[in-house]
Homo-oligomer: A and B are copies of this chain.
Amino acid sequence: MEQIARTAKHIGAAVRRRRRQLNLSQEQLGSKIHLRQATISKLEAGEPATQLRTLLDALSALDLEIVIRPRTKASVADIEELF
């Protein structure tokens, strides 16, 4: 339930996972926060130039939050496994 994310792709994957968990389509999620389905698609695809606002709005609608903490010793391989 806790996803470590070090890249935009990780973040996108976490968003997608949660959205599906909640049985929402990109369209439905988008309309909750006034973003287009295409925008959600790019966010989930891990587009690194996505705006912070877009991510935060999505997280909010998905009842997710971000925690910022010192990096754990988990290797990159360990993290990739989660995705």
Contacts and interface: CB of A to CB of B under 8 A. Distances in A.
Interface of A: 1-8, 11, 14-15, 18, 47-53, 55-56, 59-60, 63-72
B2 A66 contact: no
12 contacts: A1-B69, A2-B69, A3-B69, A4-B66, A5-B68, A6-B60, A6-B65, A8-B52, A48-B51, A48-B52, A52-B55, A65-B68
Contacts of A65: 4-6, 68-72
Contacts of A8: 52-53, 56
A67 B11 CA distance: 9
Contacts of A59: 6, 68
